[in-house]
Amino acid sequence: MSLAAVQRRTVRTLVIAQAVGAVGITIGIATASLLARDISGSESQAGLAQTFQVLGAAIAAYLLARVMNARGRRIGLVAGYLLGASGAVLAVLAGVWESMAVLLLGAVLLGATTAANSSARYAATDLAEDEHKGRALSTVVWATTIGAVLGPNLTGPAGALADALGIPELTGPFALGSIGMVAAAIVIGVLLRPDPLLLAREAAGVVPEPPHGTAWGRAVAAAKERPVLAFAVLGMACAHAAMVGIMVMTPLHMEHGHAELRVIGFVISLHVLGMFAFSPLVGILADRTSRAAVLVEGAAILLAAMVLCALAPAGTSWEIFAGLFLLGLGWSFATVAASTLIAQHAPLESRTDVQGAADLVMGLTAAGAGGLAGVVVGAWGYPELAICATGLVALVAIAGFGARATGRVAA
């Protein structure tokens, strides 16, 4: 097969896996904070489940990148999906046993599936030409729309399944999600052949960095040599942190106003629609114009989202619907642009090191934001949380301008 044919097959496979695996990731978003609140008995701990999942994603991104560096994309992605499925099962058991410790352990393992899905977007660029990397990456990101939008809307049927199985209602989504993650692992294991990263190295005559030093050290060295990478990581991390901080507290804010679970699930679906549905257009825009400029545009959209969320009353309102949609759309602009910059400028011989380190930073930043979000909402309120998040949005804009300046030098 030609490299172009392998690239098309790779993107198709990743699209299928993302569509199926995204159900597993997002189906619990609308209920995770509520389950944590019920188990712990404290609203200040409601965001811990999502926080630990984001933290798990950060750690898994770094570890899976090391696996991929040695064994290729396929082995790393399969491992991530299977670890996530194990985490979903633990979340169900946590609800049955009313154990916060088990829930947080399950959330950490669930993060491995998030890391796998994030790595899949990079896998789509391994064999893509530079001028088409944004389109390839965003196509795989778009595929998440199918499962991601469907997932939160399965909270109702998942609750019925939970009743039939005799488990708590809020654990039903995790039971269904585990099935999606296993299915994604099977798709990758069977169809992602040949491995795109290993083939890209072979075609370029490049071998991985020698084992001396650490993966983190090689990533830092690449960022020092090419500062555009550092700005791209900053923009991606701050956009993700702003999004996570607002998203994890939205179900609780809506419940305070007596919004029904199905309405909360619909709002999360609308948010996820903004995150993924328009990503192909964002990718094309990034390829045809300036990826740094698209990063700045993402900051502008995120700022509008923060204003709407700050004005949104508790419960159901048009501000919360519009704000959560724009929160997802702004994240899409920033993440697609920053990820494409990383895929474009990361050296092939240390590509997984840079990408794994980038996702580690992104995850740790978001985990911190998610943890602080519960504290801020508990002490002051949801509108104040949105106001605080504007500081992160400002850093996204700064990163975009920095990437434009250093990107020209790198080019």
- Per-block mean pLDDT, blocks of 10 residues, the chain (411 long): 88 90 66 76 71 83 88 93 91 87 88 87 89 90 75 69 79 82 93 92 74 76 94 96 91 84 81 88 92 96 97 90 96 95 89 90 86 86 94 97 79 43
Predicted pLDDT of residue 296: 97
CB 152 within 8 A of CB 26: yes
- 225: exposed, middle or buried (Cβ count in 10 Å: 0-12, 13-18, 19+): exposed
Length of the chain as a residue count: 411
Query: One-letter amino acid identity for 313?
Result: P
Is the bond preceding residue 157 a cis peptide, omega within 30 degrees? no
- Which residue type sits at 347? P
Nearest to 298 by CA among 138, 409, 126: 138
pLDDT at 251: 85
What pLDDT shows up at residue 411? 43
Amino acid identity at 64: L
Look at residue 152 in the predicted model and tell me its pLDDT: 59
* pTM score, whole prediction: 0.83
Q: What is the pLDDT of residue 408?
A: 64
Residues 113 and 59: their CA atoms lie apart, in Å, by 12
Say if residues 53 and 337 touch (Cβ distance below 8 Å): no
Nearest CA-CA partner of 240 in 404, 377, 111: 111
Q: Are 7 and 67 in contact (CB under 8 A)?
A: no
Structure tokens at 280: 């192909």
CA distance 372 to 258: 24
Backbone angles phi, psi at 206, to 5 degrees: -110, 140
pLDDT of residue 26: 65
Residue 32: predicted pLDDT = 73
At residue 56, the pLDDT reads: 87
Exposure on the CB side of residue 350, measured as CA atoms within 13 A:
25
